[in-house]
Structure 1
Amino acid sequence: MTRTPETPLPSPTERRRLREAQSLSQADVAAAMGVTRATVRSWENGRTTPRGTKRDAYARLLTGAEEVTTHQENPAPALVGAATGPVQASPDRAEPTPEPPSDTPPASALAPRPDPELGPDPALDPKPELRPELGPKAELEPLAASLTPDQAFDALYAFCAPALVRQTYLLTGRRELARESVERAFQLAWHRWPEVAMDRDPAGWVRATAYEFALSPWHRLRPRHRNPEPPPAAPADRALLDVLLQLPPVYRRTLLLYDGVGLDLPDTAAETEASTPAAANRLLRAREAVATRLPELAEPKELHRRLAEVASAERLRAAKPTTVRWGGEQRARHWTRAAIAFTVVLIGATTLTLRTAPDHYEPPLAPGATVHGVPPRVAPGPLSAEELALRAKLKGEMVSGPERLVPKAG
C-alpha cells in the first residue's frame, strides 16, 4: 500500500514572509483555515505543521502571491518564536471578553491593531531600512536543535535589539539610556540563558526586563541623567515625545505596548502586571491625553504611524551581540570577584577576632573600699628642739665607734 506524498511547505520563516507579502494577518489566515490564531502562529514558529487537507489548503493559501519555494523543514526549538516574532499568550488580537468597570469606556473604543511585531508595522514604517526586516536580505534562518547557546543568543539579539532600542527611546526619551537598558537586559538574559531559552516568549522576557530597567526611578540620582538630552529635530516629533514623557510611566508603557509594539490587551495587561480592565483604562486615559494635546493623533492607526516615525527618525544603533555577551561576562566576573573579596575580608576579620578575644573568664576588679583609722599624712616642716639635739648627737659620734662590730681575720 503506497502513501500519498504530502504537499511540500516552505520553511517557518518563509511561511510568515509569504503571508505578509499578501498583506494577511494571522487572524485572516486562521479564519480562512478554520483554526485558531494560536495554531497559525505555531505553524509559522515551526512548532507544529498542518497535515492532510489543511496542509494542502495552507500551501494553496501561501501561493496566492508567489509560488511556494520548497525548503527543507527543520524542527524548531523554543527560540524560533523569539527569532521570528513575539509569542503571545492570547490567541487573537481582539479585545478581551471581560467587561470593564462602569466608568470605563466600552472595549469597542479600543481599535484592534495589526499583527503585532517587535518593531513598527512594516506597512506604516516610513524608514523600513532602520528596523529588523524579515525579507530575503535580513531573513533569519530557522534555528536548528544543534545551535550553540552563543549562536542562539546572537540570533535573538540581532532580531530584537534594533527595534527594542527604539521602543525604549519612546519610553524614556533618552538615547543613551535606551541603549544601556537594552544591553543590560540582554546581559541579564545571557547570564540566565537556560531560563530564557526555555521561556515561551524569549523576546517578551527581554522586552519586559529592558522596560523595567529603563523606568527605574534610581536613574534620576545619576549625574548624567539630571540634564535632558537634545530633543528630536522635527517639531512634530518633539511635540509627540513631550506628550509621551508627560504621561505616568505605567500609562506610557501601556500605550507603547498596545499602540506601538502591537500586543493585544491581555498580553499588555500581563506585561504591565495589571488586570485587563485596568490596562484598558490606562490605555484609554493615555489616548485621551495624547488626543487632547495632539488632536490629529486621536485615531489609533495614526498614532501608531507617528510612533513609528518618531522611533525611526532617531538612528539608534545597538551594540554587537559579541560585545553585549562580553560585557555581561565581564560584569559577572566583576561581581564574582567582589563577592569573593568580601568573603575573604569577612573570614579574615572573624579569624582575627577569634585569635585576639580572651579564651578564659577574668573576673572584674572589686570596687575600692574606704579604710578608716589611718592618720593623715603630715607635710614636712621645721624640726623641734628635741629633733635638733638628736641630729647633733648622731653627727658627733664616730663612724667606727665601740658600738660597732668590726670583723677580724682569724
Structure 2
Amino acid sequence: MTRSPATPLPPPKARRRLREAAALTQTQLATRVNVTRATIRAWESGRTAPRGRRREAYARLLKTLAEEDAARRTRSAPPPEPAPTPTPTPTPEPTTVLEPVSGPEKGSEPEPGPGSGSEPGSGSEPGSGSEPGPEPAPEHPALTPAQAFDALYEFSAPALVRQAYLLTGRRELARESVERAFQTAWERWPEVARDRDPVGWVRATAYEFALSPWQRFRPRHRQPEPPPADPGDRTLLNALLRLGPQHRRTLVLYDGVGLDLPETAAETEASTPAAANRLLHARETVAGRLPALADSRVLHQRLTELASAERLWAAKPTGVRKGGERRARFRTRAAIAFTVALIGATALTVRTAPTHYEPAVSPGVAVRGVPPRVAPGSLSEAERELRQKLRDRLQDGPERLEPRLE
C-alpha cells in the first residue's frame, strides 16, 4: 500500500514568526490545535515534528496565519520609492572561535565571477569565436553516515567545547557534554542529518547536559577545578557562573555565539520577550561586576578570549562514535536482561501461586468446664495396684471380652 506524503510545514523559525505576527501565545495556539503548550514549544524549537491529524491541523492553521500575515503586509505596504544609489558592500567581520561558520549548502551553485564569462558582452555566446568556458567540476561522491558524522564533529566540536566551558566553568564537564551530545546525535543520525541546522541540534543537546541539575551530585564534579590564570578571565568566569542557568545560556548564545534574539529564544524554549529580559538582566549583572563590559562588542570579545585562552581538547570522532555504540549496546543488553528477569519472576510466581483458597487456621479458644491437664507425678499405692492388676490380665483373646462382676 502506498503511503501518502506528509503535509509540508514551514521551518521552525517561520512557525514561531507566524504565531507572533498573529499576536497569539503558545497556549492560545495549543488550544486551537488541541495539544499542550509544551508540544507547541517543541514544534517551534524543531525538537519534534507533528504527525498524523495533528500535523494536518497544524499545517492548515499555519497556512491561515500566513495568508493573514500576507494580507496585513499588503495593506500596510508603503508606495514604491525610487531605487537608492548603490553603496559599497561592507567587509564581513572575521569569524570568532565560539561558533563555526557552515559552508555552502549541498546543491548550491557558485556565483559567477568577473571572469566567468556569464556577464553580457563577454563573448561567451555561441558563434562569437571565443574559447569555451571551463567545464563544471565533477560532483563530490556521496559520504557515508560515518564520514558525514566525522566531518560534522571535526567542524563543530572544538567550538562547542569552548561554549560549554563558558556555561559550566569546568573543562572535563564541557568535553563530556559535547561527547554525549554527539553520541546522541549518532544514535539519531537520520534525524540529525536531515535537520536544517545539525550544529544547532547538537549544541542544544550539549547545553542541556552541561546545565543539568543532576551534575552536582556526581562525585567527579564535586571537586573544584583550578581557575583561569589571568585575574580578568577569572573575574569574568565567576560573574558568568553567578548567573542563573537560563540567563547564562541566553548570554552565551546571543553575545558569545552570535545568534539573533528569535533564534536564541527558540533554542532556550522561551518567548522572545522573555529571552530579551534574560539577556538584559545577564548584561546588567556582568556589567555590575565588570563595568568595562557594558558594551556588547567588548563583552563578545572578552568571551571569545576567555574561551580560547583555556587548553580545551576534544576526542577523536571515531572514539566518540564507538563510545556511543558501546553505550547503546550496553543499554540494549541491560533492557533485555531486565525483561528476561521480569518474565522469569512472573512465570515463577504463576507456577508457585496457590490455585484454590485455603482457609486460615482459626486461633485456639479456651473451653470452660474441662479440668486443666496436670503434669505426671509419682504414683500412689492404689495406682500401683491398679497398674499391676492391668498387667496381670490378658491383653487379647475372647476372655477379655466377657463381662464379669467384680
The aligned amino acid for 2:104 is E
Tell me which of 193, 196, 208 is aligned to 2:192. 196
Shift of 1:48: 4.6
Q: CA deviation at 1:382?
A: 6.5
TM-superposed deviation, 1:43 = 9.8
Letter in 1 for 2:287: A
Structure 1 unaligned blocks of 5 or more: 1-20, 27-40, 61-68, 76-143, 405-410
The amino acid that maps onto 2:195 is D
- From 89, 105, 129, the counterpart of 1:45: 105
Which one of the candidate residues 24, 42, 65 is aligned to 2:92?
Answer: 24
1:357 Cα offset (Å)? 1.5
Aligned match of 1:164: 160
1:362 aligns with 2:350: no
Partner Cα distance (2:227, 2:158) in 1: 20
User: What is the 5 A alignment of 1:305-384?
Assistant: 305-365=301-361, 368=364, 374=370, 376-377=372-373, 380=376
**8 Å CA contact retained: 1:244, 1:290:** yes
The 3 A distance-change label for structure 1 pair 371 and 48 is same
Which whole-Å CA distance do the structure 1 matches of 2:381 and 2:302 have between them?
122
1:164/1:71 Cα in 2 relative to 1: closer, same or farther (>3 Å)? farther
SS in 1 for 2:92: coil
Q: TM-score, normalization: structure 1?
A: 0.62
Report the AA paired with residue 220 of structure 2: R
**Which residue of the other structure, out of 287, 297, 300, is the alignment partner of 1:301?**
297
C-alpha spacing 1:323/1:378, structure 2 compared with 1 (3 Å): closer
Report Cα offsets for 1:186-237 as digits up to 9, x if no partner: 0000001011111111110000000000000111111121121111111111
Question: Which whole-Å CA distance do the structure 2 matches of 1:309 and 1:319 have between them?
Answer: 22
Equivalent residues in 2 for 1:35-184, closer than 5 Å = 44-46=104-106, 48-49=108-109, 72=136, 146-184=142-180
For residue 231 of structure 1, the aligned residue among 220, 227, 232 is 227
Q: CA deviation at 1:317?
A: 1.1
Structure-2 change in CA distance of 1:368 and 1:307 (3 Å):
same
Q: Cα–Cα, structure 1 residues 233 and 393, in superposed 2: closer, same or farther, change >3 Å? A: closer
Q: State the identity as a percent.
A: 68
Q: 1:364 to 1:310 in 2, by over 3 A?
A: same
How many angstroms does 1:147 deviate by?
1.2
Aligned to 1:265: 261
Q: How far has the Cα of 1:45 moved from its partner? A: 2.3
2-side partners of 1:148 and 1:334: how far apart?
Answer: 25
DSSP-derived class of the 1:355 partner: helix
CA deviations over 1:5-57 (Å, ceiling 9, x no partner): xxxxxxxxxxxxxxxx983379xxxxxxxxxxxxxx9993245548xxx8679
Aligned to 1:94: none
Structure 2 counterpart of 1:12: none
SS of 1:263 mapped into structure 2 = coil
Runs of 4+ in 1 over 6 A off after TM superposition: 56-60, 391-399
CA distance in 1, matches of 2:135, 2:275: 42
Cα contact 1:219–1:225 (8 A) shared by 2: yes
Q: SS at 1:273's partner residue?
A: coil
- Relative to 1, partners in 2 of residues 1:157 and 1:372: Cα closer, same or farther, differing over 3 Å? same
Q: Tell me the distance in 2 between the aligned counterparts of 1:350 and 1:196.
A: 40
Structure 2: distance between partners of 1:256 and 1:395: 110
| Contact residue 43 and residue 49 of structure 1 kept, 8 A | no
Letter in 1 for 2:187: H
1:275 is the counterpart of 2:343? no
- TM normalised by structure 2 equals 0.62
Give the C-alpha shift of residue 384 in structure 1.
6.1
CA distance in structure 2 between the aligned counterparts of 1:317 and 1:348, rounded to whole angstroms: 47
What is the CA-CA distance between 1:353 and the residue it aligns to?
1.4
Q: Which amino acid aligns with 1:291?
A: A
- Equivalent residue for 2:16? none
CA positional deviation for 1:359: 2.6
CA contact (8 A) 1:231 1:238 kept: yes
Residue-by-residue CA offset, 1:82-124 (whole Å, 9 max, x unaligned): xxxxxxxxxxxxxxxxxxxxxxxxxxxxxxxxxxxxxxxxxxx
Give me the whole-angstrom Cα distance separating, in 1, the residues matched to 2:312 and 2:355: 66
Q: Would you say the 8 A contact 1:42–1:48 is kept in 2?
A: no
Using the alignment, how far apart are the partners of 2:366 and 2:235 within structure 1? 89
Q: Distance in 1 between matches of 2:326 and 2:394?
A: 98
The CA RMSD over aligned residues, in Å, is 3.6
Q: Secondary structure at the match of 2:104?
A: helix
2:207 matched residue in structure 1: 211
The letter for the 2-side match of 1:45 is E
Offset at residue 377 of structure 1 (A) = 3.8
- Which ranges in structure 2 are unaligned for 5 or more consecutive residues? 1-88, 95-100, 118-132, 401-406
Cα distance change of structure 1 residues 265 and 397 upon mapping to structure 2, 3 Å threshold: closer
The one-letter amino acid of 2:251's match is L
CA separation in 2, counterparts of 1:294 and 1:394? 116
- Number of matched pairs: 288
Higher relative contact order (CA 8 A, sep 6+): 1
